[in-house]
């Protein structure tokens, strides 16, 4: 049969919206490691475009009794990824008879993310907790599993607003007369709270509430504070 319509008419002219399998659902995580504790803060807003899908979605998960995981980005992948991780954590516990350490969890998360290198989980992750030596630890990731241990990090939609502030307040970058004092739980918690209040002023994807967890040898203490809800 002769082809009547040839080149130039390959696609239907009315097909405009092509399926895109990701969404940007916003959210910000901040984590800080102290000497024998660490702090994680995350907002509870879930957005899509200019809409707020929900004002009360927790994006920080308790993985072990001394390890938290914060994940923001595409919420569909967040849910799938955390489900995968929960299963892996459970398997590890049944095999080895103990909880995974933060260092092990960090490496496991990296491998899980890299497994999907060519169709990535669009998730920005942060692992925070207490390491094998009882010190506070923070690990930050990119969506394909590249990771690094750090003392402080902001990731997610307001990361570009928050990270410079952390560099100044906690990293004492380029301050010749800086006199770094050791971090206390209260100072970090107040700072994280203020940081989120500030970020929610300028980033529309951050707001509603901030959930701040302090992890130390005694366990995890979580508190919530209100943020701008517009």
Partner 1 sequence: MAGMYTTHMHLPRMVDMKEKVAEFWQEEASLSQPRKHTLQPIVTGTSVLGIKCRDGVVVAADTLGSYGSLARFRDISRLMKVNDSTIIGGFGDYADFQFIMKLLEQQTIDDNVVGDGVYRDAPSIHNWLRCVLYNRRSKMNPLWNTIVVAGRDFAGKPYLGYVDKIGVSFTDKSVATGFGSYIAQPMMRKAMEENPNMSVEEAKRLMERCLKVLFYRDCRSLNRFQIGVVTETESSISDPISAETDWSIGANPSGYE
CA distance 163 to 30: 9
Residue with token string 């959930």: 211
Q: Are 41 and 196 in contact (CB under 8 A)?
A: yes
Contacts with partner 1 in 34-53 (CB under 8 A)? 46, 48, 51, 53
CB of residue 120 to partner 1, shortest distance in Å: 6
H/E element, 187 = helix 185-202
Query: Per DSSP, what are the bridge partners of residue 139?
Result: 127, 149
User: Pick from 110, 129, 203: which is nearest to 159 by CA?
Assistant: 203
Query: Is 59 one of the binding residues for partner 1 (CB under 8 A)?
Result: no
SS3 115: helix
CB of residue 219 to partner 1, shortest distance in Å: 26
Question: How many residues of this chain bind partner 1 (CB under 8 A)?
Answer: 40
Sign of CA pseudo-dihedral 192, 198, 204, 208:
positive
CB of residue 95 to partner 1, shortest distance in Å: 25
Identified binder of partner 1 from the candidate list 76, 101, 108, 222, rule CB under 8 A: 76
Identified binder of partner 1 from the candidate list 72, 75, 125, 183, rule CB under 8 A: 75
Identified binder of partner 1 from the candidate list 148, 168, 201, 226, rule CB under 8 A: 148
Candidates 29-37, 93-101, 114-122, 205-213; binding stretch for partner 1 (CB under 8 A): 114-122
Whichever of 77 and 216 has its CB closer to partner 1, that residue is: 77
C-alpha distance across the termini of the chain, in Å:
61
Contacts with partner 1 in 158-177 (CB under 8 A)? 167, 171, 173
User: Pick from 8, 13, 14, 43: which is nearest to 29 by CA?
Assistant: 43
Identified binder of partner 1 from the candidate list 1, 2, 4, 15, rule CB under 8 A: 15
CA distance 119 to 22: 10
Identified binder of partner 1 from the candidate list 7, 8, 9, 17, rule CB under 8 A: 17
The two three-digit tokens of residue 132, written as one number: 């094998």
Candidates 35-43, 70-78, 197-205, 211-219; binding stretch for partner 1 (CB under 8 A): 70-78
Residue 2 main-chain phi, psi, to 5 deg: -70, 140
Candidates 76-84, 126-134, 183-191, 202-210; binding stretch for partner 1 (CB under 8 A): 76-84
Q: Are 25 and 59 in contact (CB under 8 A)?
A: no
Q: Interface residues with partner 1 (CB under 8 A)? A: 10-11, 15, 17-25, 46, 48, 51, 53-57, 74-77, 79-80, 119-120, 122, 141-144, 146, 148-150, 167, 171, 173
């Amino acid at each position: 049969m002769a082809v009547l319509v040839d080149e130039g008419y390959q696609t239907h002219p009315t097909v405009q919206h092509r399926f895109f399998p990701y969404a940007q659902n916003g959210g910000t995580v901040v984590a800080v490691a102290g000497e024998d504790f660490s702090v994680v803060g995350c907002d509870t807003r879930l957005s899509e475009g200019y809409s707020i899908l929900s004002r009360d979605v927790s994006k920080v998960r308790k993985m072990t009794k001394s390890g938290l995981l914060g994940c923001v980005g595409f919420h569909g992948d967040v849910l799938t990824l955390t489900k995968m991780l929960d299963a892996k954590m459970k398997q590890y516990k049944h095999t080895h008879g103990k909880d995974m350490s933060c260092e092990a969890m960090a490496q496991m998360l990296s491998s899980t993310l890299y497994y999907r290198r060519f169709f990535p989980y669009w998730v920005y992750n942060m692992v925070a907790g207490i390491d094998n030596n009882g010190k506070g630890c923070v690990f930050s990731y990119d969506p394909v599993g590249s990771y690094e241990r750090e003392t402080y990090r902001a990731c997610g939609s307001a990361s570009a607003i928050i990270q410079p502030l952390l560099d100044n307040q906690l990293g004492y970058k380029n301050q010749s007369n800086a006199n770094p004092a050791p971090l206390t739980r209260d100072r970090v918690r107040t700072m994280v709270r203020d940081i989120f209040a500030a970020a929610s002023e300028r980033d529309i994807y951050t707001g509603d509430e901030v959930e701040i967890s302090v992890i130390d040898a005694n366990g995890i203490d979580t508190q919530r504070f209100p943020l701008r809800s517009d």
